Structure 1
Amino acid sequence: MTAVKSVADYIRTIADFPHEGIMFRDVTTLFADPRGMRLCVDQMLHPYAGEPIDKVVGLEARGFILGGAIAHQLGTGFVPIRKKGKLPGTVISEAYTLEYGEAIMEVHDDAIQPGERILLVDDLLATGGTAEAGIKLVERLGGVITGCAFIVDLPDLGGRKRLEGLGFDVHALVAYEGA
């Protein structure tokens, strides 16, 4: 009898990437496996099944893969939140802090209508800076975040606590200690 696999079984860990001491959680192996991908999408949307969600927002870049699949399953629209300079229309921007500097995320200014209920998704929750920037963009457009879903949570980096401290529901499929 074949053992039932979990999402974690499909994630490859690569030591010392991109820097020494980092254990990189590579979800491309999860995406490449049809069973793993289906399991991931189903588990990410499960807590929100039956909830009124108008759009799924995906954070660049792996959040696009997840967001599109989850939006399809929920029968909703999908909105990408991208790095600065990647969207062709009129955008609003939000700066956030990285380990060594600052970055800017953008969304089209007409992508979300006031009152729309939004599920925010990405592959990894570390410090929560990127997710918080995405949340701020959604809220500036009048959207209401109904939840934040991730494949991987790195709780030692504080992202979950940060988002929950702001009052948001956080769902992650796998948690890994360390960075």
Structure 2
Amino acid sequence: MSASEDGDARVQGIFDAIRVVPDFPKPGIMFQDITTLLLDHKAFRDCIDIFVERYKDKNISVVAGIEARGFIFGPPIALAIGAKFVPIRKPKKLPGEVISEEYALEYGTDRIEMHVGAVQPGDRTLVVDDLIATGGTLSAAMRLLERVGAEVVECACVIELPELKGRERLGGKPLFILVESA
């Protein structure tokens, strides 16, 4: 589901505020640059407001933000809905004891980590990132959270690149997006 399907007029402003940079970081990539969204006070506020409206009455206890851009959107959502924010980071970025989850990349693997004890069994969790492409990072984050007994209620992203079929890797878990890539 996406906010644009709900007919929310704010979504067009969010879409318009995202700059598309051709051939970055390499030829053939149409990079979805959210830095221009962050410069547009109204579009950025609308983005956060739409997420808050969706999750404020869903009894979410944890908002898990994926490094790095999930750290931009996750904390204001968590504050507004009365949840704690848990960072999910790249390896060797967290100082305490961590639990990790490996996931496949196009060539090789990567890993994400979170602090042991940051999420408790039974926590109702929202996973937030700026974009879903192939779905590898989001699915790894869900597995990590479910391994410690959390219930992943939904994943939320500002942008979806539907042609990369990342939604299919989420195992049927609900995904809410604001805009699809142009």
The equivalent position to 1:37 in structure 2, one of 24, 34, 44, is: 44
Shift of 1:47: 2.4
The equivalent position to 2:57 in structure 1, one of 45, 50, 62, is: 50
Shift of 1:161: 2.2
Cα RMSD (Å): 1.4
Does the aligned pair in 1 maintain the 2:78–2:84 contact within 8 Å?
A: yes
Provide, for residues 118-159 of structure 1, a one-character-per-residue CA deviation record: whole Å limited to 9, x for no partner. Answer: 000000000100001100110111110011000000011011
Aligned to 1:78: 85
Aligned to 2:172: 167
The 1-side partners of 2:88 and 2:73 are apart by: 13
Does the aligned pair in 1 maintain the 2:55–2:81 contact within 8 Å?
A: no
Aligned to 1:105: 112
The 1-side partners of 2:153 and 2:59 are apart by: 9
The 2-side partners of 1:103 and 1:7 are apart by: 30
The 2-side partners of 1:128 and 1:44 are apart by: 20
* Matched position secondary structure for 1:6: helix
Shift of 1:32: 2.1
Q: Give the paired residue count.
A: 173
The alignment status of 1:120 with 2:127, answered yes or no, reads yes
Structure 2 unaligned residues grouped into runs of 5+: 1-8
The alignment status of 1:28 with 2:35, answered yes or no, reads yes
The equivalent position to 1:145 in structure 2, one of 145, 148, 152, is: 152
Provide, for residues 151-171 of structure 1, a one-character-per-residue CA deviation record: whole Å limited to 9, x for no partner. Answer: 0000110111221xx131100
Question: Which amino acid counterpart does residue 115 of structure 1 have in structure 2?
Answer: G
Structure 1 unaligned residues grouped into runs of 5+: none
* Matched position secondary structure for 1:136: helix
The 2-side partners of 1:106 and 1:120 are apart by: 14
Question: Which amino acid counterpart does residue 79 of structure 1 have in structure 2?
Answer: V
Higher mean displacement: 95-104 or 114-123 = 95-104
- Structure 1 runs of 4+ with >4 Å offset: none
Give the TM-score taking structure 2 as reference length. 0.91
Aligned to 1:158: 165
* Matched position secondary structure for 1:83: coil
Give the TM-score taking structure 1 as reference length. 0.92
Percent identity of paired positions between Structure 1 and Structure 2: 50
Does the aligned pair in 2 maintain the 1:45–1:70 contact within 8 Å?
A: yes
